[in-house]
A and B are shown apart, each in its own frame.
Chain A
Amino acid sequence: MGEAIAFWILSVLIVVAALGVVTLRNLFHCALCLGLVLFGVAGIFVLNGAEFLAGVQVLIYVGATLVIILFAVMLSENITGERIRVVSYNRPLGLLAALGFLGVVLFLAISQVSFPPHTSSLKDPSLQVLTDVPNNIAAFGTLLLTKFIVPFEFASIFLLVAMIGAIVVARMAE
């Protein structure tokens, strides 16, 4: 019951705000709508028992990525505040492609395909570390530092590379 109410509120919020992101004329308003979408997705994460991920979503997406977007919007319009108006192009074609994609996915992938349950269980040697974790946050951390340690380290290096790259690119003019 509670989940149903929360789900419907969140999905309406997400879809309406997402439509705002792709149709509004004012870029800053688009970015704020994107913030609403990100919040809604964080709510969906909470509904699915991923509280840690919801916190990360708000911290990184809303607190950092969205701020970068807002900064980019402010830097790319003249600082004296002449608003950029973004217009959509090729609207019928884009609509056709999006609706076609949606139709195919809804019809084939969701109504025709049945998803089998995962076969991995705690008997798997790489997952045995999870036997007595107290909660899902501990499970997240344990799994990240045992089974997924290589991707985790790769992600760290990737972040470092991206940071250096962003600084170099942004200061290229000097």
Chain B
Amino acid sequence: MTLTELCQSVVQWLGVPAEYRDAATLILLALVDAFILFNFVMLSVLVLIYVFRKLIGFIQARLGPRYTGPRGILQTVADALKLLTKEDIIPLAADKVTFNLAPLIVFLPALLVYVVIPFGDPKSGLQVRDLNIGILYIAAITSITVIGIVTAGWASGNKWAVLGAMRSGAQLLSYEVPMTLAFLVPVLLAGSLRLSDIVNSQGEWFWQWNAFRLDYLGLTFIAFLVYFICALAETNQTPFDLPEAESELVAGYHVEYSGMKFAIFFLAEFGNTVAISAIATHLFLGGWKAPAPFLPDTGWWSLFWFFAKVSLLVFLIIWIRGTYPRVRIDQVMELGWKFLLPVGLLCVTGVGLLVAVRP
């Protein structure tokens, strides 16, 4: 039984009059979807933080969390409880309403992005909505984050927070441009903005996926790298994690935030980390497809392949985080405008030309 049928039967059981039944089903379905997505984000962040701390620990030749629960598994839960019970401090100079609103504006896009991301083959119902503007929706929704960050910095009523917000805002705005250019390459190859069409346009074998295919002179792989670097910058990951530079830059836009509101910023950041890995998987790594046609990739198997690829990318991000030093803000801007933007333009132009001349 699919979720839609389940909602229909629940609406019928509740005795809703016939003329409102469709609307009620839609609303109920939306609520159930939202509930599932919210829990998915929360659970994935819970797991991710534990894995993250363990892996960073191993990279830095230490053990990471050990004492709470077996092998430290419950450390994240303990941290979350600690943050929940902390005092909620609002600075006197802060603008109360926007100060409370800003974490929500940052968190909302991290949640909304998952609406169009398939968690497996959409034919098995593993996607919430297969919008026809799929990838444009992702680009649009993620661009809202900037507003939340700028609001957070301004509302804190602290000059360091304002400066940090300016820094982060400029960084996010700059890297949106090459990221959108990198989005265009798979869109050109698939001729559609719909995520399921983009995945289906990639072949059965792994060397036919967008990242590894060679029939476009390797430009697709360069686009993948451009996207990946931009995605790191968009989610404030190392080497672009300037807001976390508390010793040299007095942290960033969230310097005045504490307790649960601070946790929400980090929730959004980790949620975005999973989201960008999922987007990269769908656009460049064949989505839910198995690396070879003789391996099963229908039904629940598609879920397995999808999460295998996402985990691989998340591992890569954590690895980069444990390895690279932080760059300065002028270096961040220079990389974005003087290197990634021309390279992205080159990829789009090259792939566009090749698509146009090939029959």
List chain A positions with a Cβ less than 8 A from chain B. 1-2, 5, 26, 28-29, 32, 35, 51-52, 54-56, 58-59, 62-64, 66-67, 70-71, 73-74, 79-81, 83, 135, 137
Contacts and interface: CB of A to CB of B under 8 A. Distances in A.
Given A1-B23, A28-B95, A70-B154, A63 B159 contact: no
B154 A28 contact: yes
Interface residues of B, number: 39
Contacts, number: 90
B147 A70 contact: yes
Given A35-B147, A62-B144, A81-B157, A55 B137 contact: yes
A79 B154 contact: no
A55 B162 CA distance: 29
In the A-B complex, the 7 residue pairs with the closest CB atoms: A63-B143, A58-B140, A55-B136, A59-B140, A70-B150, A81-B157, A55-B133
Contacts of B151: 28, 32, 70
Please report whether the interface of chain B is mostly helix, strand, loop or mixed according to DSSP. helix
B136 A28 contact: no
Interface stretch (B8-16, B163-171, B267-275): B163-171
Given A28-B95, A51-B133, A81 B159 contact: yes
B44 interface: no
A73 B173 CA distance: 17
A5 B93 CA distance: 40
B162 A74 contact: yes
A68 to B, nearest CB: 9
B176 interface: yes
A59 B139 contact: yes
A137 B154 contact: no
Contacts of A73: 154
